[in-house]
Structure 1
Amino acid sequence: MTQFTIKHVREAIDRMKPLKFSQDVILESKKPEEDPLTVTPYAAGRIIGGCFWHINFDSGVIIYAVEFNHRTEQHLNRFVLEAFSRPTLLITDATCMSYPTERRQSLDSQLFQAIQATLSQGADVLIPVDAGGRVLELLLCLYRFWIQAKMDNHGYFIFSSRVAESIIEYAKSLAEWMSDSCRNDLNNTHRRPFQFGESLKVALNLAEIDRYQGPKLILATNESLIGGYSLKIWKKLLRAPPNLLIVPQRGQYGSPTQQFFFPHRPKYINLKIRKLLPTRLLPAQTKPTITPANKDTPEESTAEKSQENNNSGPSKPKPNLTGVKVEKEGGKMVKKRKRKKKAKFPLFSFKKEERKYDDYGEIIDPEDFKVPEEAMTPTPDMARVNKRFRGPNPNPNQDFTPMRGGAGGGPPGPKGPFMDVGRRARFGEFQGNERNFQQGERNFPPGERNFPKGERNFQQNEMFQGNPGGNATGAGFKSGLEGAKEPMTMLWDTQFIRVHCRILCLNYEGRSDGKAVKNTLSQVKPHNLIILRGSVKDKGALRKYMEDSQRCKVMVPQNGQMVHAISGSETQRAVIHPTLSAKLEFKSVDPNMRIAWMNALLQDGEEKKSEMRMLIPAPEARVRGHAALYLGNVKFAGLQRLLIEEGGLNANFHGNIMVCNNGQITIQKKVSKAKRSIRIEGGLSEDYYKVRKLLVSQYTVL
């Protein structure tokens, strides 16, 4: 197993390159004959920095888009995949195909009413959230509601997380990746987003939450209720029916939050809780054991003993393996050592392998057992601190040398501050809390308060490591002074909990539902589609829809399966001859695209495979006409305005049909699986040709 260190982590972070949306990154190929890849990120609209990837290469375009949001939110713009048409390959997911969603206005109304009703009853509301993703949208939404409804008189609004302060501070500096409204507010009013006032309380631990007495709205991590502050708070709230649990997202697979979204909500929750315990406190059967190869296991030794006890008959003499022979000479017993016979087989060198791990799996680092040279030399400040805790030295001519362990036992060690405190605390001479010891310089005389910074860090960071919770015990001082990390073991505990509190599930995941996914894919029209994630039912539903309506190749790979999605592409690269290039007539389809029709031949020759082939003008004898191509997207609303303003005709809608001149001419769109077409019906007249001319003018004709 590869062991990664902090050095490897820093090297990986140094290689990261931050990008902006719509910024092209060119990745050069190792082969000179291959063109480079162009990778571009675009906003996905779900979390800050979340994006989908547009990959452009020589034979096509690949779009990787999973977990996108088609709605515009308070701090994020919407997903814009519709701007990319006919990619070679599209990779997406089917996570929310069968997951119904409501309008945002309806969700906000249910959320605000439930919170206001619960707090008015004197109960608490808990919302489990993630650390820095969707929680930002909820904070903005709830803070605006809290201010507008003047909820400060009804309770407290608390955001609880170990990184709550840093998340809010970092979010203030990320306006560049947020919505247009956030950027406009920053430019016009110079007000950064996520500048919350005193109404939002930030709690870094549970003790800070308990200080607020009264009804509380708490946003706590993590979002799945499998650990963290949210699980601890929920255990306190679930026994009281007036309390409310609002679940904004499903969380991890098999978690309690996912079970709450089931149609038939369970009354009992199967909860798996992780516990981190010191290995020395575990029972013997749960401790990890390592049996040396040269020793028998307990099972083997027990089996051998039982076999010896069960054997019957006279005992056989045991072979002499000591190499000493006892003989009788002159009535006395004399020990004679046997001569060792020379080995008759070749000897091979043996290299003893040093152990890299201890019995608990910890890596053995020789640096942990070295005593720093700085600790060997006492300083005047150390002597004063030792005198303060030790009292007067009975023998002034002899320096006091404390024990190395700090808690008694072991050979004498280096002199230094607090080396004898652990031993004295072990015998009950010091019974104080952590605060008194960490800030013990306050009790010093005025001349002894300011001791060197390094010693103060030693006192606060090393001395109290291992006893962060209260009295200064010998075990706490020992682990702190030695600086060794105690081996820990992760255990799982399964509990069945009955839920008494009220539960409200609202979809604030920020993912597009099945209807939005189908509409987006019908506009993009990919040639090939790969579906990742989601249940078997959801994947099958999306696959059937795309095969029936869009007639594209759909692949649903399994985990670890390799897929050749674009191996059958018939795209070839060629160079246009200058003579042919001069004859091309380009027409503009939209501001970003120009297109032309050419009659050319692909020149065959004996060129090398590495060289590209060339397109030359086709002979006039071989040129044949082609059917007209109508390029563009005509909208009936614009066509109606054109017929009224420029044609002077009456145009009205009857269902999906446009009727001109009181029913003399009709225009109708027809959409089939193969193509889209517009059909004009009416009598041959001057108005008919006028309508047809205005309709054709909306297309680019080749």
Structure 2
Amino acid sequence: MGTSVQVTPLSGVYNENPLSYLVSIDGFNFLIDCGWNDHFDPSLLQPLSKVASKIDAVLISYGDMLHLGALPFAMKQFGLNAPVFSTEPVYRLGLLTMYDQSFSRKAVSEFDLFSLDDIDSAFQNFTRLTYSQNHHLSGKGEGIVIAPHVAGHLLGGTVWKITKDGEDVVYAVDFNHRKERHLNGTVLESFYRPAVLITDAYNALNSQPSRQQRDKQFLETILKTLEGGGNVLIPVDSAGRVLELLLILEHFWGQRFLNYPIFFLSYVSSSTIDYIKSFLEWMSDSIAKSFETSRDNAFLMKHVTLLIGKEELDNASTGPKVVLASVASLEAGFSHDIFAEWAADVKNLVLFTERGQLACFRRIHLQRLLK
């Protein structure tokens, strides 16, 4: 008798909402990803609320809002009480992401959906795995093996493989097959004919430029603004894609001997980079090799200053500068405050490096400008 697999999308199908899937294998219920967006709209979580108490294990693929943002709320409000599995970077950077979101919200409103204690409580349930580590479940999950594999896109990002009786279920969303400065790409060819493949088509219709072309346009746009006397605001996530941007800027500034200041501003910027420095084995082969041969840590940055408060930026240089500030959606956080201050000056630039969440502040305003 074969293995029974049932897949029930809870969120993120036929639209751009955060991802969450219920995957049942012979009666063992996995919740794969538990995302929320920067609106923190509880109505998005109604499907999850109906099944949360039946979940036996949670698998998290990335440490950002769209993949784990609802976890503290679900554990607090929905009775979700199951072990959570992720890689070490997803655990650490996911925790910092949730802290940053909480601090950013409480700075502008009476945010009470979850507290810092709720975040800590949720993350105490995590078991951290290394890439390709086969973890055998016990009890109700006896006979099921889970293993995280490289997904690219974000540090520690995971393609999950779940195996039962020789049949594989592969969950591969938001992956990146291209090698980047700080990450290796995924290799989906290594999964041979899985029984079930769960994936997405978020970027299927987008024409992706080469990394070289993308970086060149990014840097030329920034430099043109700085040379014209303007400031550059780059709204970023707390601990995800911002890492790639920091390395691109750090390398370019070193090559060109530029003196314009670069600031990374978030409530958790210092903690983020401190952790990142110890995660080199999770990064690209080139970064790991450089450290092995010369002890050169790519995230010991000479041209980037870490800030954790807006007052630090206000007291900094008054000349042209680059500021990478959370949160990426402009819904709240330092990026929202800086946008409000700088937007009226035509010399300044707000540079978005990704599409952004559906119906968020930045995307709504960008769509209005493009009409």
- TM-score, normalising length from structure 1? 0.35
1:68 shift after superposition: 0.1
How far, CA to CA, are the matches of 1:2 and 1:200 in structure 2? 41
Match of 1:144 among 228, 251, 254: 251
Amino acid corresponding to residue 307 of structure 2 in structure 1 = A
Report percent identity of matched pairs.
Answer: 37
The correspondence of residues 267-416 of structure 1 with structure 2, limited to 5 A, is none
Structure 1 segment 525-540 matched on structure 2, within 5 A:
none
Match of 2:310 in 1: 206
Partner of 1:283: none
Distance 1:88 1:238, change over 3 A: same
Q: Is the 8 A contact 1:250 1:261 kept in 2?
A: no
Shift of 1:119: 0.7
The superposition leaves residues 155-213 of structure 1 with CA deviations (integer Å, 9 ceiling, x where unpaired) of: 2111111111111111000112111111111111112230012x212222222112211
Query: Number of aligned pairs?
Result: 260
Q: CA deviation at 1:40?
A: 0.8
Measure, in 2, the Cα distance between the counterparts of 1:170 and 1:237.
Answer: 31
Do the aligned residues in 1 keep the contact of 2:182 with 2:283 (CA within 8 Å)?
yes
Q: d(CA) in 2 for partners of 1:235 and 1:5?
A: 27
Residue 219 of structure 1 aligns to a residue in which SS? Answer: strand
User: Aligned with 1:247: secondary structure?
Assistant: coil
8 Å CA contact retained: 2:331, 2:362: no
SS at match of 1:17: strand
Q: Which residue of 2 aligns with 1:18?
A: 128
Structure showing the higher helix proportion among its residues: 2
Letter in 2 for 1:215: P
Aligned partners of 2:325 and 2:118: how far apart in 1?
A: 32
Give the SS at the match of 2:126.
coil
1:226 and 2:336 aligned: no
Matched, 1:30 2:30: no
What is the SS of the residue equivalent to 2:336?
Answer: helix
Q: Compared with structure 1, are the counterparts of its residues 62 and 147 closer, same or farther at alpha carbon in structure 2 (3 Å cutoff)?
A: same
- Provide the alpha-carbon RMSD of the alignment: 2.3
TM-score (norm 2): 0.65
Is the alpha carbon distance of 1:15 and 1:204 closer, same or farther for their aligned partners in structure 2, counting shifts above 3 Å? closer
Distance 1:147 1:53 in 2: 38
Contact 2:231-2:320 at 8 Å conserved across structures: yes
Q: Report the CA distance between 1:8 and its aligned residue.
A: 7.3
Give the one of 248, 264, 267 matched to 2:353. Answer: 248
Find the aligned partners of 1:9 and 1:129 in 2 and give their Cα distance.
Answer: 21
Specify the alignment match of 1:191 in structure 2. 296
- Other-structure match for 1:167: 272
Partner Cα separation in structure 1 for residue 207 and residue 181 of structure 2: 21
Q: Does the residue aligned with 1:18 lie in a helix, a strand or coil?
A: strand
CA distance in 2, matches of 1:14, 1:244: 41
Q: Aligned equivalents of 2:185 and 2:352: distance in 1? A: 23
Of 240, 243, 266, the match for 1:133: 240
- 1:108 is aligned to 215
Contact 1:157–1:200 at 8 Å: present in 2 too? yes
Please state how far the C-alpha of 1:28 moved relative to its aligned partner.
Answer: 2.7
1:203 maps to amino acid: L
Q: Deviations over 1:475-519 (max 9, x none)?
A: xxxxxxxxxxxxxxxxxxxxxxxxxxxxxxxxxxxxxxxxxxxxx
Using the TM superposition, give the Cα deviation of residue 2 of structure 1 relative to its aligned residue in structure 2, in angstroms: 7.1
Inter-partner Cα distance in structure 1 for 2:213 and 2:201: 24
Q: Which amino acid aligns with 2:362?
A: T
Alpha-carbon distance in structure 2 between the residues aligned to 1:62 and 1:29 = 20
Equivalent position of 1:179 in the other structure: 284
Opposite residue 213 of structure 1, the aligned amino acid is T
Per-residue deviation, 1:257: 3.1
Q: Are the counterparts in 2 of residues 249 and 257 from structure 1 also a CA contact under 8 Å? A: no
Rounded Cα–Cα distance in structure 2 between residues aligned with 1:105 and 1:227:
32
SS of the equivalent of 1:119 reads: helix
Once the two structures are TM-superposed, the CA of residue 231 in structure 1 deviates from its matched residue by: 0.9
1:90 aligns with 2:197: yes
Following superposition, the deviation at residue 12 of structure 1 comes to 4.8
Mark the CA change 1:121 to 1:93 in structure 2 (over 3 Å): closer, same or farther. Answer: same
